Structure 1
């Protein structure tokens, strides 16, 4: 979880010379690795200091740090954990990854398109949490209802306290979907520690964040013109206008709207969307005869910003895209890196121009 904050500062070895790794018992590390709308890597360090007033040296990844008694006043400071260089947790960054899910609201339920295997999908909306599904295999699209749940409890290997703390951090970031990634599919290797930990003392949970939940709406224009519908096709697969992909690391730093009507145009969109990713990915191809419309928000100073489809219509040859815009709230987990949010939407039918609006305010984006 929203986002990587700067990696914990490295202490000079001289500062650790008085710290002993033998001065701690029950040492364990629990990681939460975030992808998509956040690129945080956070870790709680559990243990008991032999001398509660002292400190113990440890190496987390490439960082030499001092473990001390836990600080107070930080919502991520959980019972049984130790502070890391005076902070409640260790922070780092995760690797870039391709989209894992595409969740849309459809009537009173939700359409969940799994772009890779996921172990479960949760829905958050301003502090209210629901579970949408259990495991879904890559390539499947399912329709699901929202079952109320307590925060993110039950997600991956998170303890209840960790799940509650993460959910609280995401509370200010509006509607979002959280996919739990299977343990064997995480893009990042386990956090290395010195002293090394046994498997029983290390836990990791991967979470993919989809910022914003689009809706599949059907209606008519104010002048009676027919809007392009967003409906469910055979087998529950979304048909019509749909979100193809979204991300936060486009190559462009300025606002752009790019329409692709052929393979060459789709290659251009893929390069704009994934050009900063190694290896670069390719966007899913729209159905024959449909267009792909990319909206690039432009450069942002941190993580936590995102775009997703809320609704769309075509009236009189004008395509209007209403997008959900997300931004980090105060105290959110945010990546201290430059980001550039984007979304690509598949559109059937013909149109000659595109207007992009903020779904919350109605303001035209440009």
Structure 2
């Protein structure tokens, strides 16, 4: 069956339908990852977005329960050059096509994704729709009139606290759309983790008497999560704190820096990042459309620790007075390289050092 992708600039791409039998509208973005399509689709940072895969073939190894990053993804649609007709892998439990049907996510294949990606790079991310009928002028009018909601943290965050049990350090993870891989990394280190909703206040956190606080990734504009800024300002003074992706941006805002929307963002896991202090280069997994303005970073409070090599984006911050730091990329990978997973160990060391200092005081 034919399916059409239309963009607000008037572009039309004709292809073949797969996945759910439904139309959809969202912000069209692209990812450069060569694998990990299931993790990408289930990453809540793609909420309200139509995801374009630049890799020419996806779906070839199916899907498995082990690779979910969330159980109820909010990705609006999938665009690819070719979706595998047959998938095979010893871990496979279902095909990618059936998976999208079950998740009510439509897909389109058979289009020139190189041309589409060039349009997005030149003009920036834009609104788009997947339709099963040939679009007319009314379809474009509707698309241009549609408002894509970027205040989506409430949509993807847990509504109630829940535990991820362990026996060592007690960690509070504030959920702004957290990937399960963050919980996996904490579980590897035997952390006793309590996941709290995005509305958590400093007092909610202090009641649990944690050893440290982790701010998760998530979708949308960090400035819309207003309560988080006041929470971070209070928590960082008393507890070790680590922010990832959206958590990094919230940490920056809480310390006087500003954020801005990028032209087409960073999405994929081949982004080279330099640690300024050591010169060490790591390849990182990234998924964000907003970034921290480097000119707004107050050197009295924050140190820029990492930068993206290609465009100089701020990729890491550390507080000069408190035991608090953040990174824009995903050290948990999933998918992507594990070059930076030692940042979780740095967070553990920060917690242990604080405990030791308190014991010796």
TM-score class, shorter: under 0.3
Q: Which has the higher strand share?
A: 1
Q: Which has the higher helix share?
A: 2
* Structure ranking higher on relative contact order (CA contacts 8 Å, 6+ apart): 1
TM (norm. structure 1) is 0.27
